[in-house]
Chains A and B, each alone.
Chain A
């Protein structure tokens, strides 16, 4: 078994909404990711997946908890050490239309990280590296001087991937990298990500709400609900043998390509309209179907953890 590259412990991120209301976006999550592994994170919109991803990269300061990268707690690093650490951890964003600065050329978008970390000695070197990266993600290096609006969604996402790869990171958080793309392009991008993982030995945290895609790409999957991990298991195991009621609900929502089966399938519905991650200061914690405040992750079989 390989070493954990990332260890997340008791991570919490609360947002103060004013007037005593607190949004507990991430409410104590623990997991670790081994080197070269892909951990999928699934959950409904607003369950804290993206906030968790951004907090792990320290784009948000955490409320509590720690994230250790190769044993170093990144929340304790000084700004200059943190900057150096950022070379190892990168992110691919959801919306390829919002994640590229419209005033930059492709060269500047990809080269920005090289400038920040002084990784390119000369302009020539920088240009060469950018062309290398474009080639790596399957884009035509002749397009380096063009602007983002000239590219299609899939091409833009590949520019985003090239940008993340520019600093030779070990760990990449993919924050719903395919949900804004056409289905035909989704496969292209996922295959590219898997291919890059093999070639460069990357470790992924793959955030998504497309369950079939997560199953396809992940070694293990964590299911999040209202800021917490409710179940964590190897992906085959999770899909074959879901234990937590929420996971079952989520899996029942996967559409089956056979219309007859789909029509007769029983959807499990969750009556959680009263539930929400916003807590008021004086009041009791919000309605919570699964009593998550008093539950803990328990290992029920090897590698299969469930909140009980």
Chain B
């Protein structure tokens, strides 16, 4: 019954006569107005990225590592190569924050110097991959047909050669140095990027907006640089971000094998290698470089995943 009572006032209100209505007209121009703030596709992705807490944390960790690898060696009183044989294998203390190694060198400075080398190699290799991959993949995808077939076969052949074999051969022939490592990593590293770019371009070049641009008389340059590549940028950036930790790990791995940068220059991989002989006595010598390399790879990978979700929300399940 309570329900019925509640309904009564509404029933009264429903007794409206035509005089209660007033025609205010329809303003078509008004109905077209968009209220939402205008956002470009990039802004939209950025805001989506900021909502992903894990990715933001990874980004902050990444930034801290990058900044520390730049200023870390400067805020300490020590340098990375001066031996101090009075203070070898010291545990972390207030003077040597990360302890010292078997030659008394400060581990704090060496760890960040190693991170600097690793990041430089990782970023440089990724950027070179990007440049070669975009040009090569762009040509394959855009021209298609015979050109695509031949270039793709070449890439496949190169890809089928064991990468480690090529790398080790290269490092034996040339002096092991940072340049050689970057060369070794990029000699096959760009292929993946070129395939990503090729796939994107092939998919995009038959989109109607590309046809529309062609029907207006746009040339190859405009199509590639104004329409195709900007729209392929999402997957390119994600591949780039995810190839950095790969390169960092490869560098550490090669350095660990002794094929990387040579003493006294520090690299995270070679520091772990040097600590191996006495890791149970002086665990900090292995701990700090190992933590840093794990953290770097984790941060880059999580950030890359977050970036992929932000740039292409449709991919997320």
State A139–B33 Cα separation when bound (angstroms). Answer: 9
Q: Is A267 an interface position by the 8 A CB rule?
A: no
State A90–B214 Cα separation when bound (angstroms). Answer: 10
Contact B41 A149 (CB under 8 A): yes
Contact A91 B215 (CB under 8 A): yes
Q: Is B34 an interface position by the 8 A CB rule?
A: yes
Binds B, one of A140-148, A192-200, A239-247, A300-308: A140-148
Q: Is A260 an interface position by the 8 A CB rule?
A: no
State A307–B33 Cα separation when bound (angstroms). Answer: 51
Q: Quick one: given A101-B227, A150-B36, are A93 and B216 in contact (CB under 8 Å)?
A: no
* A46 surroundings in chain B (CB, below 8 A): none
Please give me the residue from chain B that is nearest to A94 by CB atom.
Answer: B208
* A93 surroundings in chain B (CB, below 8 A): 208, 211-212
* A90 surroundings in chain B (CB, below 8 A): 215-216
Q: Is B93 an interface position by the 8 A CB rule?
A: no
Contact B34 A146 (CB under 8 A): yes
State A150–B212 Cα separation when bound (angstroms). Answer: 20
Contact A112 B231 (CB under 8 A): no
Q: Quick one: given A86-B217, A91-B212, A91-B215, are A102 and B41 in contact (CB under 8 Å)?
A: yes
Contact A116 B41 (CB under 8 A): no
* B86 surroundings in chain A (CB, below 8 A): none
* A98 surroundings in chain B (CB, below 8 A): 207-209
How many residues of chain A get a CB closer than 8 Å to chain B's CBs?
Answer: 41
* A99 surroundings in chain B (CB, below 8 A): 207-209, 211-212
Q: Is B38 an interface position by the 8 A CB rule?
A: yes
Q: Is B26 an interface position by the 8 A CB rule?
A: no
Contact A117 B209 (CB under 8 A): no
Chain B stretch 16-56: residues in CB contact (< 8 A) with chain A: 28-29, 32-34, 36, 38-41
Q: Is B213 an interface position by the 8 A CB rule?
A: yes
Q: Is B230 an interface position by the 8 A CB rule?
A: yes
Contact B215 A147 (CB under 8 A): no
* B40 surroundings in chain A (CB, below 8 A): 103, 105, 147
* A100 surroundings in chain B (CB, below 8 A): 209
Most buried by A among B36, B41, B230: B41
* A146 surroundings in chain B (CB, below 8 A): 34, 38
| Interface contacts beyond A59-B214, A86-B216, A90-B216: sample of 13 additional A-B pairs, CB < 8 Å, sorted by A | A54-B211, A82-B217, A90-B215, A98-B209, A99-B207, A101-B209, A103-B231, A109-B209, A112-B218, A113-B217, A147-B39, A150-B36, A155-B32
20 A-B residue pairs with Cβ-Cβ distance under 8 Å, sorted by A, are: A57-B215, A83-B217, A84-B217, A87-B217, A90-B215, A91-B212, A91-B215, A93-B208, A98-B207, A98-B208, A98-B209, A101-B226, A103-B231, A112-B218, A112-B226, A113-B217, A116-B222, A117-B217, A147-B40, A163-B212
Which B residues are closer than 8 A to A by beta carbons?
A: 28-29, 32-34, 36, 38-41, 207-209, 211-218, 222, 226-227, 230-231
